Amino acid sequence: MTAPVAIVTGGAKGIGRSIAIELASKGFDLAIVDRLEEGEAQDTLGGVKALGRQAVFIHHDLADVGNAANVVAKAIAALGRIDCHVNNAGVQSPVRGDILDLELSHFDVVLDINLRGTFFLTQEVARWMAANEDQATYRSIHFVTSTNAVIPAPTRSAYCLSKTGLAMAAQVYALRMAPHGVHVFEIRPGTVRTDMTKDVVAERDAKIASGAVPIARWGEPEDIGKVVATLASGAMPFMTGTALFVDGGGHIRPN
């Protein structure tokens, strides 16, 4: 039987790497898409191959919307199909500060990658899935957003807006793709230990110590990877359009 295939954006490091490894452990072959160079994805590629699965690297910057169709074509050429697509790649606001001082260029760089680029790469994947139905295979699309999709952070307004937009993208894609047997999920991580959060360690440690996170610890990339892999495996077949908080309960009493 042909192995299922997953695309993971931002798969070279952090949460994306853990998602790829967890998917490989479920039997998926992987296409790792990242704007980093292939050399920086070797830990991910090696980890997937160590589990006996195939792994290919596709260099792509999500801001380059015109290259989205080429990404899908390369994945198909290398691995033959797409059963799972994980929108994990994203960037933080270049500058944290007052929303009244937000610069257009900073707004654009975040929205171009996190929302615009993600939406249109997903569109290309969804087109392929709609045109290549295989009822024997469980298929899914995942949007890794953030608790900031619904919890505002005025010092990171562009980031919050991008994640809120992705939350709605998950909803509209869920409705559009359900007739094709494609399940769509949104995953909302909270405080996760990655390169993106290395500059706010003291701030987040203080939040956890204050009781803001009921499961009083940092999230780890593996926490997100396990959720995505479970959903992608088809273990929850009567779900689509669902948003799952993976934040230790932090959304219950945000502060």
Give tens-digit pLDDT for 133-186: 977 799 999 999 999 999 999 999 999 999 999 999 999 999 999 999 999 999
Q: Residue 104 falls within a domain, yes or no?
A: yes
Paired tokens of 215: 């499961």
Instruction: Give tens-digit pLDDT for 199-240.
Output: 788 888 898 889 999 999 999 999 999 999 999 999 999 999
At 31, is the secondary structure helix, strand, or coil? Answer: strand
List 86's β-bridge partners, or say none.
Answer: 8, 142
Q: Residue 174 falls within a domain, yes or no?
A: yes
Q: Residue 78 falls within a domain, yes or no?
A: yes
Give the pLDDT of residue 1: 67
Paired tokens of 129: 């899935």
Band of the pLDDT at 254, cuts 50, 70, 90?
A: low
Q: Cα–Cα distances in Å, from 163 out to 166, 188, 215, 240, 246?
A: 5, 9, 23, 18, 15
Q: Residue 108 falls within a domain, yes or no?
A: yes
Q: Residue 252 falls within a domain, yes or no?
A: no
Instruction: Give tens-digit pLDDT for 80-126.
Output: 999 999 999 999 989 999 999 999 999 999 999 999 999 999 999 99
Instruction: Give tens-digit pLDDT for 25-60.
Output: 999 999 999 999 999 999 999 999 999 999 999 999
Q: Residue 207 falls within a domain, yes or no?
A: no
Count of structural domains, the chain: 1
Q: Phi/psi zone of residue 10: left (φ > 0), alpha (ψ -120 to 50 degrees), beta?
A: left
Q: Residue 225 falls within a domain, yes or no?
A: yes
CA separation for the pair 86, 48 (Å, rounded): 16
Give the pLDDT of residue 156: 94
Q: What is the CATH number of the domain that holds 159?
A: 3.40.50.720
Place of tokens 């249109």: 120
Give the pLDDT of residue 134: 78
The pTM assigned to this predicted structure is 0.96
Q: Residue 177 falls within a domain, yes or no?
A: yes
Helix (H) or strand (E) holding 62: none
Please say if the pLDDT value at position 194 is more than 90. Answer: no
Domain residues for 127?
5-191+220-246
